[in-house]
Chains A and B, each alone.
Chain A
């Protein structure tokens, strides 16, 4: 009986505590602004940020849509490209040795440094999308490669015993075995795709083009419209959190029947 009470208290704490902490932070933020009489162009209070968010919703929501669209397109291309390349590498050593170094180079070169170049070579929406893709695809590629290679050797032997084709090994053994790793990679890629889109938008924004959320942030900064900057920042953070939770949910739903990561421990 007391054990069940303890469990319930634990669950209540897990939901309540972050909520209380959030409320306290907002109250503290508000108090700091009020008591020190900080002007809104330095640090706006939470109330002002919220009212700006509502007042500027037409502009901000359009920008949010632009950034989110880029993020999801970048993520989708990263999943297709990352998984596709990993499968190709897994099937052909030659391709792997020839192309893997370039994947690493794309990954280790800071995206901020590549973005201006891409903006010169490509039309602006395509350049932003390319940036999102470049940052997001590597974790998918690396994780999928790891997953495809971590197959039980005895299962490989079993497939060989029954004369399985390459395609059958991929379809029935390697891809399902790699799924937890792939989903882990996609979860990381979701956040990175947003970062890539924002970085590219900022690079583009300074060139005077673009209408994404990051562009709004740069623009608001120039105009000292700090409340709107905060409102845009808030939307970006919330987007990142929502993307992470959505991808976690997808991962959980896909693995809940069999993978240890998605199954509750028996106690």
Chain B
């Protein structure tokens, strides 16, 4: 980690992305991700927040602007973990095989991989399901496998693209708490894309509200509530205050299109 230097892990300057079909997803996006923070990108569907995440992961190249990594974290290989909106598991591999994948691809030998996989599965509460195939798991459990797979390489930066959007509320709340616990225990940096005001307030210490397409930063809202946060936070006045603040910002961001 590079928190001592005060440098951001990754900084995006005037980043734009226009697709081959002419759709401009991002325009003039400035964003710096600080080490150790839990940052949420919040915006309406199609505002380019997923695109921003793919650009950071190096899965797509920006059409304008620069992405710099002053903190010494390199994109690619095992410094970055990615969790997609769907669990995106290999149906033909067991839970163990799925979580083992990043280690297989980066050439980690068996004697080092097996304990790492077990540790990651233990963290998401699936240690007893190593030999089960994904089809036998519930949606929430599949998402846990996906999370374990992203954590198994001990990445410095965890990118999450609306990972819990398809889950029911009870499962989502549980996974929110587990994610927070993992984030605190491991001291990772998380960039979390969501369209839920409530989810972003509950999880983050900073929310970046984006405008509709082409997306750029509309507002930044620090959520200055202490961690660890637990379900009682959801009913607190503080939480309600931040939710209102964030909702207002989002509403104003939505008005930006007309302007």
Contact = CB atoms under 8 A, between A and B. Distances in A.
B120 to A, nearest CB: 15
A263 B135 contact: yes
A56 to B, nearest CB: 48
Contacts of B135: 258, 260, 263
B106 A154 contact: no
Contacts of A159: 105
B80 interface: yes
Contacts of A155: 88, 90
Contacts of B77: 162-163
Instruction: Place the interface of chain B in its size category.
Output: 20 to 34
B86 interface: yes
Instruction: Place the interface of chain A in its size category.
Output: 20 to 34
Contacts of A172: 90, 101, 104-105
B78 A162 contact: yes
B105 A257 contact: no
Contacts of B104: 168, 172
Contact of B59 (A152, A157, A176, A260): A157
B17 to A, nearest CB: 15
A260 B58 CA distance: 34
Interface in B149-188: 153
Q: Interface majority SS on B: helix, strand, loop or mixed?
A: loop
The winner among A172, A176, A260 for most chain B CB atoms within 10 A is: A172
Nearest to A173: B90
A142 B154 CA distance: 41
A162 B155 CA distance: 11
Interface in A153-184: 154-155, 157-164, 168, 172-173, 176-177, 179
Nearest to A169: B105
B88 A258 contact: no
Interface string A132-160: 00000000000000000000101101111
Given A159-B105, A163-B105, A257-B133, A152 B88 contact: yes
Interface of B: 54, 57-59, 76-78, 80, 82, 84, 86, 88, 90-93, 101-102, 104-106, 133-135, 153
14 contacts: A157-B54, A161-B59, A161-B76, A161-B82, A162-B76, A162-B78, A162-B105, A162-B106, A163-B106, A176-B90, A176-B92, A177-B92, A258-B133, A258-B134
Interface of A: 152, 154-155, 157-164, 168, 172-173, 176-177, 179, 257-260, 263
